[in-house]
C-alpha cells in the first residue's frame, strides 16, 4: 500500500428544507477538495435553504454509500421540522452506526440528538439553542469545535470552517489542513467584536434573541416531539 494515494473521502452531507446554506458550504469548502461530496436527500429534487437559494441533492438516502468517512448535518431554520421527520432520523441513525465520523454544525447537533446519536457524548451547537442538547443525553460544551471520540460538532454557522479544518487534520493530517487553510486564505479579520454573546453589546444580543425567539420555541417543540416518538 506504500506510494498509493488514499481513496478519496466519502463525505455525506444531509440536506433538508430550510437548512442554513453556509452551515454546509463552510465545511464543504474545506473538505470537498479532498473527497467526494454526497448531498443527501429523499429525492433528487432541489432543496430550499433559509436564505432563498436551493441546492441540488446528488444522492438519495437509498443510494447513499453504506460506509461514509463523514456523516455531516447542518442546522438552520428548518431544523425543528426535520427533528419531527422519522425518515430523516432513521437514515441518520443507520449511516451513523457505520460512519467514521458523525458530525454537525450549528443546530445540526439537535438533529443528531433527535436521532439518538449524542447520548453520552460531548457536543456543541449554535449559542442560542445550546441549552437543548442535554434533553438528548448530550453534555453541552461551549466551544467553537467539540471532539468526543468520533463525534465532532461545530458552533453556529461560521464555526463550520474551524470544524472542517479540525476534522480534516484528524482524517488526513495537519499538513493537509494547513495547506487547505492557506488555499482558502482563512486568516479571519471580523470587522466587529460581535461574534458571541460574551463580546457583543447587550442591545445587539437582545436584538438577535428577540429575532430568534420564535425559532427557539420551535426548536424546543421539535426536540420534545422527537423524544416522545422515541419513547413510544
Q: Just list the catalytic residues.
A: 106
Report if residue 166 touches its own copies, rule: CB under 8 A: yes
> What span, in angstroms and rounded, lies between the C-alpha atoms of 86 and 113?
13
Q: Does 202 bind its own copies (CB under 8 A)?
A: no
CA gap 62, 159 in Å, rounded = 30
- Strands annotated E in the chain: 9-14, 35-41, 47-48, 54-55, 59-60, 70-73, 101-105, 122-123, 139-140, 145-148, 151-154
Q: Which of 14, 19, 26, 83 binds its own copies (CB under 8 A)?
A: 26
Q: How would you class 63 by CB atoms within 10 Å of its CB: exposed for 0-12, middle for 13-18, buried for 19 or more?
A: exposed
Determine which residue in the list 45, 191, 231, 232 makes contact with its own copies, applying CB under 8 A.
191
Which of 10, 64, 126, 223 is the binder for its own copies (CB under 8 A)? 126
- Interface contacts to its own copies, rule CB under 8 A: 20-22, 25-26, 28-29, 32-33, 36-37, 39, 46, 51-56, 58, 106, 126-127, 144-145, 155-159, 161-162, 165-166, 169, 174-175, 177-179, 181-192, 194-197, 199-201, 204-205, 207-208, 211-212
Amino acid at each position: 500500500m506504500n506510494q498509493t494515494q488514499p481513496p478519496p473521502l466519502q463525505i455525506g452531507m444531509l440536506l433538508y428544507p430550510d437548512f442554513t446554506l453556509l452551515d454546509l458550504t463552510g465545511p464543504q469548502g474545506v473538505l470537498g477538495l479532498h473527497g467526494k461530496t454526497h448531498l443527501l436527500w429523499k429525492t433528487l429534487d432541489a432543496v430550499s435553504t433559509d436564505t432563498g437559494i436551493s441546492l441540488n441533492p446528488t444522492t438519495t438516502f437509498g443510494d447513499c454509500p453504506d460506509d461514509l468517512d463523514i456523516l455531516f448535518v447542518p442546522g438552520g431554520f428548518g431544523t425543528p421540522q426535520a427533528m419531527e421527520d422519522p425518515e430523516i432520523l432513521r437514515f441518520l441513525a443507520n449511516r451513523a452506526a457505520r460512519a467514521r465520523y458523525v458530525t454537525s454544525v450549528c443546530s445540526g447537533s439537535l438533529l443528531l440528538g433527535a436521532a439518538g446519536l449524542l447520548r453520552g457524548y460531548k457536543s456543541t451547537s449554535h449559542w442560542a439553542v445550546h441549552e437543548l442538547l442535554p434533553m438528548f443525553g448530550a453534555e453541552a460544551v461551549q466551544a467553537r469545535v467539540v471532539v468526543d471520540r468520533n463525534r465532532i460538532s461545530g458552533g453556529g454557522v461560521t464555526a463550520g470552517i474551524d470544524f472542517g479544518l479540525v476534522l480534516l487534520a484528524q482524517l488526513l493530517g495537519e499538513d493537509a489542513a494547513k495547506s487547505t487553510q492557506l488555499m482558502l486564505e482563512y486568516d479571519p479579520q471580523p470587522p466587529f467584536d460581535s461574534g458571541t454573546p460574551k463580546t457583543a453589546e447587550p442591545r445587539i444580543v437582545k436584538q438577535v434573541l428577540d429575532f430568534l425567539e420564535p425559532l427557539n420555541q420551535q426548536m424546543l417543540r421539535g426536540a420534545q416531539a422527537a423524544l416522545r416518538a422515541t419513547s413510544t
